[in-house]
Amino acid sequence: MPEHLMGVAEVAELLGVTRQRVTQLAKSASFPPPYDTLAMGPVWLKVDIETWARKTGRIE
């Protein structure tokens, strides 16, 4: 996967949570919308996930 994109597994690794938890978080209104959805599932722009994670105190 290109470095600027993240799937559920990459988001889980960044946040230190399970893939199931990422799926739950993705349903919340504050979570960034996916950039696209592939056969493997949703993909997000890395910058969007990192920005959201910093704003919510999940990463520094």
Boundaries of domain holding 36: 5-55
Number of domains present in the structure of the chain:
1
Within 10 angstroms of residue 25's Cβ, the number of other Cβ atoms is 18
Contacting residues for 35 by C-beta, under 8 A, at least 6 apart: 5, 43, 44, 45, 48
Residue 45 lies in a domain: yes
The pLDDT score that the predictor gives to residue 22 is 98
The pLDDT score that the predictor gives to residue 2 is 85
Residue 31 lies in a domain: yes
| pTM greater than 0.75 (yes/no) | yes
Residue 9 lies in a domain: yes
CA torsion 45→26→15→30, rounded to 10°? 80
The pLDDT score that the predictor gives to residue 43 is 98
Residue 41 lies in a domain: yes
Residue 35 lies in a domain: yes
Residue 60 lies in a domain: no
pLDDT in tens, 24-51: 999 999 999 999 999 999 999 999 999 9
Q: How far is CA 59 from CA 15, 16, 38, 48, in A?
A: 7, 10, 26, 13
Whether residue 1 has pLDDT greater than 80: no
Residue 23 lies in a domain: yes
DSSP 55: H
Q: Could you give the percent of the chain with pLDDT greater than 70? A: 100
